[in-house]
Amino acid sequence: MAGAKEIRGKIKSIKNTQKITKAMEMVAASKMRKAQERMRASRPYAEKIQTVLSHLAQANPEYKHPYLETREDIKRVGFIVVSTDRGLCGGLNTNMFKAAVTQMIDWDKKGAEVDVCAIGKKAGSFFKRFKCNLVAHTENLGDQPAHDELIGTVKVMLDAYDAGKIDRLFVVYNEFVNTMTQTPRVHQLIPVESSQDKALDHHWDYIYEPEAKPIIDGLMMRFIESQVYQGVVENVASEMSARMIAMKSATDNAGDLIKDLQTVYNKARQAAITQEISEIVSGAAAV
Amino acid sequence: MAMTVHIDVVSAENSIFSGTVTEIYAPAEMGEVGIHPRHTQMLTRLKPGTVRVIDQQGKEQTFYVSGGILEVQPHVVTVLSDTAVRAADLDESAALEAKSRAEAALADKKSDLDYAHARAELLEAVAQLDAIKKLKKRK
Protein backbone atom coordinates (compact mmCIF):
# COMPACT_ATOMS: atom_id res chain seq x y z
CA MET A 1 0.00 0.00 0.00
CA ALA A 2 1.26 3.44 -0.95
CA GLY A 3 2.31 5.75 1.82
CA ALA A 4 -0.23 8.11 3.33
CA LYS A 5 1.79 11.13 2.29
CA GLU A 6 1.83 10.17 -1.39
CA ILE A 7 -1.93 9.66 -1.38
CA ARG A 8 -2.42 13.04 0.23
CA GLY A 9 -0.39 14.61 -2.60
CA LYS A 10 -2.50 12.85 -5.20
CA ILE A 11 -5.72 14.06 -3.62
CA LYS A 12 -4.41 17.61 -3.61
CA SER A 13 -3.51 17.52 -7.30
CA ILE A 14 -6.92 16.12 -8.24
CA LYS A 15 -8.59 18.82 -6.19
CA ASN A 16 -6.70 21.45 -8.18
CA THR A 17 -7.78 19.90 -11.47
CA GLN A 18 -11.33 19.83 -10.18
CA LYS A 19 -11.17 23.54 -9.44
CA ILE A 20 -10.11 24.23 -13.02
CA THR A 21 -12.80 22.07 -14.62
CA LYS A 22 -15.40 23.62 -12.33
CA ALA A 23 -14.35 27.12 -13.42
CA MET A 24 -14.41 26.10 -17.09
CA GLU A 25 -17.86 24.65 -16.64
CA MET A 26 -19.16 27.92 -15.26
CA VAL A 27 -17.52 30.01 -17.97
CA ALA A 28 -19.00 27.74 -20.65
CA ALA A 29 -22.44 27.94 -19.02
CA SER A 30 -22.51 31.72 -19.11
CA LYS A 31 -21.17 31.86 -22.67
CA MET A 32 -23.68 29.24 -23.71
CA ARG A 33 -26.61 31.42 -22.79
CA LYS A 34 -25.42 34.24 -25.04
CA ALA A 35 -24.49 31.88 -27.87
CA GLN A 36 -27.93 30.29 -27.75
CA GLU A 37 -29.65 33.65 -27.89
CA ARG A 38 -27.61 34.60 -30.95
CA MET A 39 -28.45 31.32 -32.62
CA ARG A 40 -32.18 31.55 -31.86
CA ALA A 41 -32.32 35.13 -33.15
CA SER A 42 -31.00 34.33 -36.60
CA ARG A 43 -32.65 30.94 -36.98
CA PRO A 44 -36.04 32.12 -38.35
CA TYR A 45 -34.38 34.12 -41.14
CA ALA A 46 -32.16 31.20 -42.15
CA GLU A 47 -35.13 28.84 -42.17
CA LYS A 48 -37.41 31.16 -44.14
CA ILE A 49 -34.82 32.02 -46.76
CA GLN A 50 -34.27 28.29 -47.20
CA THR A 51 -38.01 27.82 -47.81
CA VAL A 52 -38.14 30.66 -50.32
CA LEU A 53 -35.13 29.28 -52.18
CA SER A 54 -36.56 25.78 -52.25
CA HIS A 55 -39.72 27.23 -53.81
CA LEU A 56 -37.58 29.03 -56.33
CA ALA A 57 -35.75 25.82 -57.17
CA GLN A 58 -39.10 24.22 -57.92
CA ALA A 59 -40.25 27.08 -60.13
CA ASN A 60 -39.42 27.44 -63.79
CA PRO A 61 -37.82 30.86 -63.75
CA GLU A 62 -37.00 32.83 -66.88
CA TYR A 63 -33.54 33.43 -65.45
CA LYS A 64 -31.88 30.26 -64.22
CA HIS A 65 -29.24 31.06 -61.62
CA PRO A 66 -26.25 28.66 -61.74
CA TYR A 67 -26.87 27.71 -58.08
CA LEU A 68 -30.30 26.36 -59.00
CA GLU A 69 -29.11 24.00 -61.71
CA THR A 70 -28.18 20.47 -60.75
CA ARG A 71 -25.13 19.33 -62.63
CA GLU A 72 -25.36 15.71 -63.69
CA ASP A 73 -21.72 14.78 -63.99
CA ILE A 74 -20.03 15.33 -60.65
CA LYS A 75 -16.24 15.47 -60.76
CA ARG A 76 -15.47 17.40 -57.60
CA VAL A 77 -17.43 18.34 -54.51
CA GLY A 78 -16.77 21.04 -51.96
CA PHE A 79 -17.23 20.83 -48.19
CA ILE A 80 -17.30 23.76 -45.81
CA VAL A 81 -16.52 22.23 -42.42
CA VAL A 82 -17.31 24.35 -39.37
CA SER A 83 -15.48 23.28 -36.20
CA THR A 84 -14.52 24.84 -32.89
CA ASP A 85 -11.27 26.70 -32.26
CA ARG A 86 -10.61 25.11 -28.91
CA GLY A 87 -10.78 21.59 -27.60
CA LEU A 88 -12.09 20.19 -24.29
CA CYS A 89 -15.63 19.94 -25.56
CA GLY A 90 -16.16 16.18 -25.52
CA GLY A 91 -16.67 14.31 -28.76
CA LEU A 92 -18.22 17.27 -30.54
CA ASN A 93 -15.62 17.76 -33.25
CA THR A 94 -14.81 14.06 -33.60
CA ASN A 95 -18.45 13.17 -34.25
CA MET A 96 -18.77 15.92 -36.82
CA PHE A 97 -15.56 14.95 -38.62
CA LYS A 98 -16.79 11.37 -38.68
CA ALA A 99 -20.04 12.46 -40.38
CA ALA A 100 -18.12 14.61 -42.87
CA VAL A 101 -15.56 11.92 -43.67
CA THR A 102 -18.28 9.29 -44.21
CA GLN A 103 -19.81 11.57 -46.85
CA MET A 104 -16.42 12.31 -48.39
CA ILE A 105 -15.63 8.61 -48.72
CA ASP A 106 -18.99 8.09 -50.42
CA TRP A 107 -18.13 10.76 -52.98
CA ASP A 108 -14.65 9.32 -53.37
CA LYS A 109 -16.17 5.94 -54.24
CA LYS A 110 -18.31 7.61 -56.88
CA GLY A 111 -15.15 8.96 -58.44
CA ALA A 112 -15.50 12.56 -57.29
CA GLU A 113 -12.63 14.43 -55.71
CA VAL A 114 -13.11 16.42 -52.53
CA ASP A 115 -12.20 20.02 -51.71
CA VAL A 116 -12.39 21.17 -48.13
CA CYS A 117 -12.73 24.63 -46.69
CA ALA A 118 -12.12 24.61 -42.95
CA ILE A 119 -13.59 27.08 -40.49
CA GLY A 120 -12.06 26.76 -37.02
CA LYS A 121 -8.68 25.56 -35.77
CA LYS A 122 -9.70 21.98 -35.14
CA ALA A 123 -11.01 21.43 -38.66
CA GLY A 124 -7.85 23.03 -40.04
CA SER A 125 -5.48 20.69 -38.23
CA PHE A 126 -7.66 17.64 -38.87
CA PHE A 127 -7.97 18.11 -42.62
CA LYS A 128 -4.29 18.97 -43.01
CA ARG A 129 -3.50 15.45 -41.88
CA PHE A 130 -6.37 13.90 -43.82
CA LYS A 131 -5.88 12.94 -47.45
CA CYS A 132 -7.88 15.68 -49.15
CA ASN A 133 -7.50 19.06 -50.75
CA LEU A 134 -7.67 21.90 -48.21
CA VAL A 135 -8.36 25.04 -50.23
CA ALA A 136 -9.21 27.61 -47.58
CA HIS A 137 -8.88 27.90 -43.85
CA THR A 138 -9.95 30.49 -41.32
CA GLU A 139 -9.72 30.41 -37.55
CA ASN A 140 -10.10 32.46 -34.37
CA LEU A 141 -13.56 33.70 -35.24
CA GLY A 142 -14.37 34.04 -31.55
CA ASP A 143 -17.74 33.64 -29.93
CA GLN A 144 -19.39 36.38 -31.96
CA PRO A 145 -18.53 35.53 -35.56
CA ALA A 146 -18.73 38.46 -37.97
CA HIS A 147 -20.38 38.07 -41.36
CA ASP A 148 -17.56 39.59 -43.38
CA GLU A 149 -14.89 37.32 -41.89
CA LEU A 150 -16.79 34.27 -43.10
CA ILE A 151 -17.47 35.60 -46.57
CA GLY A 152 -13.84 35.45 -47.68
CA THR A 153 -13.60 31.75 -46.95
CA VAL A 154 -16.92 30.97 -48.51
CA LYS A 155 -16.11 33.11 -51.54
CA VAL A 156 -13.29 30.72 -52.48
CA MET A 157 -15.84 27.92 -52.73
CA LEU A 158 -18.41 30.00 -54.57
CA ASP A 159 -15.80 31.14 -57.11
CA ALA A 160 -14.78 27.52 -57.63
CA TYR A 161 -18.42 26.65 -58.23
CA ASP A 162 -18.90 29.52 -60.66
CA ALA A 163 -15.77 28.45 -62.54
CA GLY A 164 -17.11 24.90 -62.74
CA LYS A 165 -14.32 23.45 -60.59
CA ILE A 166 -16.73 22.00 -58.06
CA ASP A 167 -20.20 20.70 -58.85
CA ARG A 168 -21.72 20.52 -55.42
CA LEU A 169 -21.19 22.35 -52.15
CA PHE A 170 -21.98 21.11 -48.66
CA VAL A 171 -21.72 22.72 -45.29
CA VAL A 172 -21.02 20.57 -42.21
CA TYR A 173 -21.62 21.77 -38.68
CA ASN A 174 -23.07 20.72 -35.35
CA GLU A 175 -26.75 21.45 -35.13
CA PHE A 176 -27.86 22.58 -31.72
CA VAL A 177 -30.84 20.48 -30.60
CA ASN A 178 -30.73 21.22 -26.90
CA THR A 179 -28.11 21.57 -24.20
CA MET A 180 -27.62 17.80 -23.94
CA THR A 181 -27.74 16.91 -27.65
CA GLN A 182 -25.91 18.28 -30.64
CA THR A 183 -26.08 16.39 -33.92
CA PRO A 184 -23.63 16.73 -36.79
CA ARG A 185 -25.43 17.91 -39.90
CA VAL A 186 -24.29 17.70 -43.51
CA HIS A 187 -26.36 20.17 -45.47
CA GLN A 188 -26.32 20.69 -49.22
CA LEU A 189 -25.86 24.37 -49.98
CA ILE A 190 -25.67 24.44 -53.77
CA PRO A 191 -27.37 23.42 -55.93
CA VAL A 192 -30.34 24.44 -53.82
CA GLU A 193 -32.58 21.50 -53.03
CA SER A 194 -36.11 22.02 -54.26
CA SER A 195 -39.07 21.70 -51.94
CA GLN A 196 -41.20 18.60 -52.39
CA ASP A 197 -44.42 20.60 -52.16
CA LYS A 198 -47.15 18.77 -54.14
CA ALA A 199 -49.18 21.96 -54.63
CA LEU A 200 -46.31 23.50 -56.58
CA ASP A 201 -45.73 20.47 -58.74
CA HIS A 202 -46.74 22.08 -62.02
CA HIS A 203 -45.23 24.57 -64.44
CA TRP A 204 -45.22 28.01 -62.86
CA ASP A 205 -43.06 31.07 -62.40
CA TYR A 206 -42.94 34.15 -60.25
CA ILE A 207 -43.84 37.66 -61.28
CA TYR A 208 -40.63 39.62 -60.83
CA GLU A 209 -40.52 43.28 -59.93
CA PRO A 210 -38.56 44.90 -61.45
CA GLU A 211 -36.44 42.14 -63.01
CA ALA A 212 -35.54 38.55 -62.27
CA LYS A 213 -31.75 38.64 -62.39
CA PRO A 214 -30.91 41.24 -59.71
CA ILE A 215 -33.54 39.86 -57.34
CA ILE A 216 -32.40 36.27 -57.65
CA ASP A 217 -28.71 37.22 -57.48
CA GLY A 218 -29.30 39.25 -54.34
CA LEU A 219 -31.40 36.51 -52.82
CA MET A 220 -28.68 33.91 -53.51
CA MET A 221 -25.97 36.00 -51.89
CA ARG A 222 -28.09 36.50 -48.80
CA PHE A 223 -28.99 32.83 -48.74
CA ILE A 224 -25.37 31.65 -48.74
CA GLU A 225 -24.39 34.25 -46.14
CA SER A 226 -27.22 33.39 -43.80
CA GLN A 227 -26.77 29.62 -44.13
CA VAL A 228 -23.05 29.71 -43.38
CA TYR A 229 -23.50 32.24 -40.60
CA GLN A 230 -26.23 30.09 -39.09
CA GLY A 231 -23.92 27.06 -39.29
CA VAL A 232 -21.22 28.94 -37.41
CA VAL A 233 -23.46 30.30 -34.66
CA GLU A 234 -25.12 26.91 -34.17
CA ASN A 235 -21.68 25.41 -33.87
CA VAL A 236 -20.65 27.98 -31.26
CA ALA A 237 -23.79 27.26 -29.24
CA SER A 238 -23.10 23.52 -29.55
CA GLU A 239 -19.48 24.01 -28.52
CA MET A 240 -20.40 25.89 -25.37
CA SER A 241 -23.01 23.40 -24.22
CA ALA A 242 -20.80 20.42 -25.11
CA ARG A 243 -17.96 21.96 -23.13
CA MET A 244 -20.23 22.63 -20.21
CA ILE A 245 -21.39 19.01 -20.15
CA ALA A 246 -17.85 17.66 -20.63
CA MET A 247 -16.50 19.82 -17.82
CA LYS A 248 -19.39 18.92 -15.56
CA SER A 249 -18.67 15.21 -15.95
CA ALA A 250 -14.95 15.88 -15.46
CA THR A 251 -15.73 17.68 -12.21
CA ASP A 252 -17.97 14.81 -11.11
CA ASN A 253 -15.31 12.24 -12.00
CA ALA A 254 -12.72 14.17 -10.03
CA GLY A 255 -15.11 14.11 -7.07
CA ASP A 256 -15.48 10.33 -7.31
CA LEU A 257 -11.74 9.89 -7.60
CA ILE A 258 -11.15 12.03 -4.51
CA LYS A 259 -13.71 10.02 -2.57
CA ASP A 260 -12.03 6.72 -3.49
CA LEU A 261 -8.57 8.05 -2.70
CA GLN A 262 -9.80 9.40 0.61
CA THR A 263 -10.94 5.89 1.60
CA VAL A 264 -7.58 4.43 0.61
CA TYR A 265 -5.83 7.19 2.55
CA ASN A 266 -7.92 6.54 5.68
CA LYS A 267 -7.21 2.81 5.48
CA ALA A 268 -3.48 3.43 5.09
CA ARG A 269 -3.48 5.79 8.05
CA GLN A 270 -5.45 3.31 10.15
CA ALA A 271 -3.07 0.51 9.20
CA ALA A 272 -0.07 2.64 10.20
CA ILE A 273 -1.60 3.46 13.59
CA THR A 274 -2.51 -0.19 14.26
CA GLN A 275 0.98 -1.26 13.38
CA GLU A 276 2.50 1.34 15.69
CA ILE A 277 0.28 0.28 18.60
CA SER A 278 1.08 -3.38 18.14
CA GLU A 279 4.78 -2.52 18.03
CA ILE A 280 4.53 -0.55 21.29
CA VAL A 281 2.55 -3.32 22.99
CA SER A 282 4.94 -6.05 21.92
CA GLY A 283 7.86 -3.83 22.95
CA ALA A 284 6.32 -3.29 26.39
CA ALA A 285 5.71 -7.04 26.76
CA ALA A 286 9.35 -7.79 25.98
CA VAL A 287 10.59 -5.45 28.73
CA MET B 1 -65.37 33.40 -43.49
CA ALA B 2 -62.93 35.60 -45.27
CA MET B 3 -60.08 34.01 -47.16
CA THR B 4 -56.79 34.14 -45.33
CA VAL B 5 -53.11 33.84 -46.05
CA HIS B 6 -50.23 33.01 -43.74
CA ILE B 7 -47.50 35.60 -43.41
CA ASP B 8 -44.04 35.42 -41.83
CA VAL B 9 -42.09 38.61 -41.26
CA VAL B 10 -38.49 37.81 -40.37
CA SER B 11 -35.41 39.96 -40.10
CA ALA B 12 -31.77 38.95 -39.92
CA GLU B 13 -31.96 39.37 -36.14
CA ASN B 14 -35.38 38.09 -35.24
CA SER B 15 -38.75 36.71 -36.18
CA ILE B 16 -41.12 39.67 -36.04
CA PHE B 17 -44.53 38.36 -36.92
CA SER B 18 -46.09 35.10 -37.95
CA GLY B 19 -49.81 34.64 -38.36
CA THR B 20 -52.89 34.39 -40.51
CA VAL B 21 -54.13 37.60 -42.11
CA THR B 22 -56.59 38.73 -44.77
CA GLU B 23 -54.70 41.59 -46.42
CA ILE B 24 -51.06 42.63 -46.74
CA TYR B 25 -49.54 45.91 -47.93
CA ALA B 26 -45.82 46.15 -48.59
CA PRO B 27 -43.48 48.84 -49.99
CA ALA B 28 -42.20 47.08 -53.12
CA GLU B 29 -39.48 48.70 -55.18
CA MET B 30 -41.87 49.59 -57.98
CA GLY B 31 -44.49 51.05 -55.64
CA GLU B 32 -46.66 49.77 -52.82
CA VAL B 33 -48.31 46.42 -53.40
CA GLY B 34 -51.48 45.09 -51.81
CA ILE B 35 -51.75 41.33 -51.50
CA HIS B 36 -54.88 39.34 -50.93
CA PRO B 37 -55.02 35.58 -50.34
CA ARG B 38 -54.42 33.35 -53.41
CA HIS B 39 -52.26 35.97 -55.03
CA THR B 40 -50.09 34.49 -57.78
CA GLN B 41 -46.41 33.82 -57.05
CA MET B 42 -44.39 36.98 -56.91
CA LEU B 43 -40.84 37.90 -55.98
CA THR B 44 -39.82 41.52 -55.42
CA ARG B 45 -37.40 43.67 -53.53
CA LEU B 46 -38.63 45.97 -50.79
CA LYS B 47 -37.52 49.50 -50.08
CA PRO B 48 -37.51 51.06 -46.62
CA GLY B 49 -41.08 51.54 -45.46
CA THR B 50 -43.93 49.97 -43.58
CA VAL B 51 -45.51 46.59 -44.04
CA ARG B 52 -49.13 46.58 -42.96
CA VAL B 53 -51.23 43.51 -42.34
CA ILE B 54 -54.93 43.21 -41.51
CA ASP B 55 -55.73 40.22 -39.37
CA GLN B 56 -58.89 38.14 -39.16
CA GLN B 57 -60.45 40.48 -36.60
CA GLY B 58 -60.00 43.39 -39.01
CA LYS B 59 -57.24 44.87 -36.85
CA GLU B 60 -54.28 46.48 -38.55
CA GLN B 61 -50.66 45.88 -37.55
CA THR B 62 -47.66 47.81 -38.86
CA PHE B 63 -44.02 46.82 -39.14
CA TYR B 64 -41.14 48.91 -40.28
CA VAL B 65 -38.67 47.26 -42.69
CA SER B 66 -35.41 48.75 -43.90
CA GLY B 67 -35.54 46.88 -47.19
CA GLY B 68 -35.44 43.23 -48.10
CA ILE B 69 -37.23 40.70 -50.24
CA LEU B 70 -40.90 39.75 -50.47
CA GLU B 71 -41.96 36.32 -51.64
CA VAL B 72 -45.61 35.64 -52.37
CA GLN B 73 -47.06 32.16 -52.73
CA PRO B 74 -50.84 31.66 -52.98
CA HIS B 75 -51.10 30.50 -49.35
CA VAL B 76 -47.97 31.82 -47.73
CA VAL B 77 -46.18 35.15 -47.86
CA THR B 78 -42.65 35.69 -46.58
CA VAL B 79 -41.01 39.02 -45.86
CA LEU B 80 -37.23 38.63 -45.59
CA SER B 81 -36.15 41.97 -44.25
CA ASP B 82 -32.70 43.26 -43.36
CA THR B 83 -34.04 44.82 -40.20
CA ALA B 84 -37.65 44.85 -39.15
CA VAL B 85 -39.30 46.30 -36.08
CA ARG B 86 -42.85 46.58 -34.90
CA ALA B 87 -43.85 50.17 -35.61
CA ALA B 88 -44.76 50.62 -31.95
CA ASP B 89 -41.14 49.90 -30.97
CA LEU B 90 -39.69 52.60 -33.22
CA ASP B 91 -37.94 55.49 -31.54
CA GLU B 92 -39.22 58.78 -32.91
CA SER B 93 -36.45 61.02 -31.55
CA ALA B 94 -33.75 58.66 -32.86
CA ALA B 95 -35.39 58.66 -36.29
CA LEU B 96 -35.63 62.47 -36.32
CA GLU B 97 -31.99 62.72 -35.34
CA ALA B 98 -30.97 60.31 -38.08
CA LYS B 99 -32.99 62.32 -40.55
CA SER B 100 -31.32 65.63 -39.71
CA ARG B 101 -27.90 63.94 -39.71
CA ALA B 102 -28.52 62.50 -43.15
CA GLU B 103 -29.79 65.84 -44.44
CA ALA B 104 -26.68 67.58 -43.17
CA ALA B 105 -24.51 64.97 -44.86
CA LEU B 106 -26.44 65.49 -48.08
CA ALA B 107 -25.95 69.25 -47.88
CA ASP B 108 -22.17 69.06 -47.99
CA LYS B 109 -21.63 66.28 -50.46
CA LYS B 110 -17.96 65.47 -50.60
CA SER B 111 -17.82 62.24 -52.49
CA ASP B 112 -20.30 60.15 -54.42
CA LEU B 113 -19.92 57.31 -51.98
CA ASP B 114 -20.92 59.49 -49.02
CA TYR B 115 -23.77 60.89 -51.03
CA ALA B 116 -25.27 57.54 -51.87
CA HIS B 117 -24.87 56.41 -48.28
CA ALA B 118 -26.49 59.55 -46.89
CA ARG B 119 -29.34 59.25 -49.35
CA ALA B 120 -30.07 55.70 -48.24
CA GLU B 121 -29.91 56.79 -44.62
CA LEU B 122 -32.31 59.66 -45.25
CA LEU B 123 -34.77 57.37 -47.01
CA GLU B 124 -34.68 54.99 -44.06
CA ALA B 125 -35.23 57.74 -41.51
CA VAL B 126 -38.13 59.20 -43.47
CA ALA B 127 -39.70 55.75 -43.78
CA GLN B 128 -39.36 55.23 -40.04
CA LEU B 129 -41.00 58.57 -39.28
CA ASP B 130 -43.73 57.68 -41.72
CA ALA B 131 -44.40 54.43 -39.88
CA ILE B 132 -44.60 56.29 -36.57
CA LYS B 133 -46.98 58.86 -38.02
CA LYS B 134 -49.27 56.16 -39.37
CA LEU B 135 -49.33 54.46 -36.03
CA LYS B 136 -50.15 57.68 -34.17
CA LYS B 137 -52.98 58.56 -36.52
CA ARG B 138 -54.73 55.32 -35.72
CA LYS B 139 -54.53 55.95 -32.00
Residue B72 clears pLDDT 60, i.e. is over it: yes
pLDDT at B124: 80
pLDDT at A182: 92
Element (H, E) at B49: strand B49-55
Question: Are A50 and A223 a contacting pair, CB within 8 Å?
Answer: yes
**A117 given a catalytic annotation:** no
pLDDT digits (tens, 9 = 90+) for B21-51: 999 999 998 889 999 999 999 999 998 888 9
Positive or negative, the CA dihedral A227, A229, A232, A237 is negative
**pLDDT band for position A185 (cuts 50, 70, 90):** very high
Helices (H), chain B: 92-107, 112-138
Q: Residue B93 and residue B109: Cα distance in Å, rounded?
A: 25
- Residue with the bigger pLDDT between B115 and A55: it is A55
What's the full length of chain A, in residues? 287
Q: What is the mean pLDDT of residues A242-251?
A: 95
pLDDT digits (tens, 9 = 90+) for A217-243: 888 888 988 899 899 999 999 999 999
Q: Provide the shortest C-alpha distance from residue B86 to chain A (in Å).
A: 16
Q: Looking at the complex, does the CB of residue B83 fall below 8 Å from at least one CB of chain A? A: no
Residue A24 clears pLDDT 70, i.e. is over it: yes
Domains of chain B: 5-87 (2.60.15.10), 90-138 (1.20.5)
> Contact A207/B41, CB-based, under 8 Å?
yes
**A-B C-beta contacts closer than 8 Å:** 70
Q: Closest to B44 (Cβ–Cβ): which among A55, A59, A215?
A: A215
**pLDDT band for position B112 (cuts 50, 70, 90):** low
Q: Provide the shortest C-alpha distance from residue A95 to chain B (in Å).
A: 30
